[in-house]
A = this chain, B = another copy of it.
């Protein structure tokens, strides 16, 4: 592989000049630039990115830590991050945290040791304090789908309250009044904020909130089945049910169908997230779209702006979810 040195010899200039034409960061006369470029072409020169990194103390690599590589979110998120970064000539190093504190910390350590210029993390187990501490370090960190007050400028998050509101509001607009809600584990802020939105939609229309119509699930399919079973056993009446995520909605749908409900005539079911399988459920799941892909892109832009000083990027820190009407919700049938 040709080096900058050989190029300089062939072009009859110095190392420095070759470096300059590569990096376009200093004035080089048209004539010499052409000479150098021709030499590079002739030798099929490719810069050695590692040597560049060592000399400039910049690796042009961004570390990304996600919970699971095969989760329903991950793909979209990574796709967003990668497309943006790749277009900028940066590369993405990826690793996983498996939602376990130790592994998440390990992953972050690993990324640091790889001398990433910045790290984008999607972590769940690790505490806010830990993240705040981390952010004081030399490598900038950016948080995906998580909001930490003291780190606002480094967060990309979703307006979960609004999502919860939209979900319930849509049902109310269709005439539903008795709306059950299956929440996620409330210690997760996503889950509690979505619930808050639900309550606001109710209150806005003077519909009282009944504890009887609330079940705390686990964000998994079982949470959906257990929740619906719970409501049925309690003998409360309800014509619609909103689930705090699509997995639980899927669970509810399965349980409902097994127990003779016609969907959506007998029961409207609303999801949240719009993960890939939502479109494969039967009936197709009406849900709240969580723009993970866009958020991924945005986190990359944030890095580009803050770390690589790219300008004129419009940065948006919090994203708004939208209602995605499909087939699992219909108007109230008395």
Residues of A within 8 A of B (CB): 46-51, 53-54, 59, 61, 68-72, 74-76, 78-79, 82-83, 86, 91-96, 110, 112-115, 250, 254, 257, 276-277, 280-282, 293
Contacts and interface: CB of A to CB of B under 8 A. Distances in A.
Contacts of A46: 112-113
Contacts of A48: 54, 115
| Copies of this chain, count | 2
A79 B96 CA distance: 8
13 contacts: A47-B113, A50-B53, A50-B54, A61-B93, A70-B75, A70-B79, A70-B276, A75-B75, A86-B110, A91-B110, A94-B94, A276-B276, A276-B277
A49 B115 contact: yes
Contacts of A79: 68-70, 96
Contact of A82 (B47, B53, B69, B76): B69
Nearest to A281: B280
A223 to B, nearest CB: 15
A93 B92 contact: yes
A83 B70 contact: no
Nearest to A79: B69
A83 B71 CA distance: 15
A68 B276 CA distance: 14
Given A78-B94, A282-B282, 16 more contacts: A50-B59, A61-B114, A69-B76, A69-B78, A70-B75, A70-B293, A71-B75, A74-B75, A75-B75, A86-B95, A91-B95, A91-B114, A93-B93, A254-B282, A277-B277, A280-B281
A1 to B, nearest CB: 8
A293 B254 CA distance: 27
A79 B69 CA distance: 5
Contacts of A95: 82, 86, 91-92
A333 to B, nearest CB: 22
Contact of A93 (B53, B91, B115, B293): B91
Given A70-B276, A277-B277, A94 B82 contact: yes
Nearest to A112: B46
Nearest to A69: B79
Nearest to A250: B280
A82 B74 CA distance: 14
A114 to B, nearest CB: 5
A247 to B, nearest CB: 9
A170 to B, nearest CB: 22
Contacts of A59: 50
Nearest to A278: B280
Specify which of A48, A250, A277 lies most central, judged by the most chain B CB atoms within 10 Å of its CB.
A277
Contacts of A51: 54
Specify which of A47, A50, A53, A54 lies most central, judged by the most chain B CB atoms within 10 Å of its CB.
A50
Contacts of A277: 276-277, 280
